């Protein structure tokens, strides 16, 4: 199986490396030539453009920032749709608007190309160790034929429904993560103001009902004031804007999402957009004038 891989950013680069470790034949492309060279050093072939990554591919995996970039890579002039062979499969791991996934899939289908939308959760650490959670939309038979491929990059690979269902599920995931992080920040700041060490609060509640993967990952970062990005505020804003668009299209209420989105937009305006989304605690620190600490 020949695989083309387009998009070697924070997530795509380690995902591609895990496929190489899994024994797959990869041809990779990214605008960042240093990233391409790094993955090529692990055993991939270098493509000079989209055509080079797509023309011989049985499967083309894309991992780019948002709907416009996915459309540019796949269906616009010079996109992969012009070079993929009939019978090829596109697996888009980008987190985009579900409506865009359905639009792209329909155009690919007209050329005899199948598609799965397969966004991921877990951030850079899980991309590196190959334990991402894949939320997949598409035909069951296409999913089953490529589940093993995805399992080399993730520990959870779930078919959520037809095309677009993966990105609907990812938007639900991003709501839960954003609101959870904001809740952790709010709770720890309250505890500190009330005279209880945030570290003790974390230690006491992490094994109970309020415990979560988000709490375990983000509370220590908040207390350490370590906001090196695993998942940037700006990317989460992008996802929550997609939530707003999707919610509007189906008339779903999202008051909590709207509140956290406004908090993130304030952080972006203050220059924190490149920080990890655990930096939501900075919103509370700006309100109180006090930093969270151990």
Residue numbers annotated as active site = 170
The whole-angstrom separation of Cα 74 and Cα 62 is 9
Cβ–Cβ < 8 Å for 184, 276: no
The vertex-175 CA angle with 174 and 180, nearest 5°, equals 100
**Cα dihedral: 229, 116, 108, 37 (round 10):** 40
Cβ–Cβ < 8 Å for 1, 24: yes
Cβ–Cβ < 8 Å for 116, 91: yes
Cβ–Cβ < 8 Å for 95, 167: yes
């Amino acid at each position: 199986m020949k695989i083309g891989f387009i998009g070697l950013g924070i997530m795509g680069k380690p995902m591609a490396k895990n496929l190489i470790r899994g024994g797959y034949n990869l041809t990779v492309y990214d605008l960042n030539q240093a990233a391409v060279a790094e993955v090529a050093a692990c055993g991939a072939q270098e493509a000079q453009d989209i055509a080079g990554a797509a023309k011989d591919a049985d499967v083309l995996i894309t991992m780019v920032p948002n709907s416009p970039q996915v459309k540019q890579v796949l269906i616009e002039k010079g996109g992969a749709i012009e070079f993929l062979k009939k019978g090829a499969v596109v697996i888009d791991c980008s987190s985009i608007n579900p409506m865009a996934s359905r639009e792209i899939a329909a155009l690919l289908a007209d050329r005899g190309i199948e598609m799965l939308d397969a966004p991921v959760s877990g951030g850079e650490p899980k991309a590196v160790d190959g334990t991402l959670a894949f939320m997949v939309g598409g035909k069951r038979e296409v999913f089953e034929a490529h589940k093993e491929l995805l399992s080399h990059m993730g520990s959870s690979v779930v078919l959520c429904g037809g095309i677009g269902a993966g990105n609907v599920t990812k938007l639900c995931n991003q709501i839960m993560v954003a609101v959870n992080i904001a809740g952790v920040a709010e709770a720890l700041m309250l505890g500190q103001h009330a005279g209880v060490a945030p570290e003790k609060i974390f230690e006491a509640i992490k094994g109970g009902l309020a415990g979560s993967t988000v709490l375990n990952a983000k509370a220590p970062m908040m207390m350490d004031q370590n906001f090196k990005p695993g998942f940037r505020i700006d990317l989460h804003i992008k996802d929550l804007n997609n939530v707003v668009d999707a919610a509007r299209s189906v008339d779903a209420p999202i008051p909590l999402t709207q509140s956290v989105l406004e908090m993130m937009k304030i952080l972006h305006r203050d220059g924190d957009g490149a920080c990890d989304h655990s930096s939501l605690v900075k919103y509370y620190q700006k309100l109180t004038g006090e930093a969270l600490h151990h």
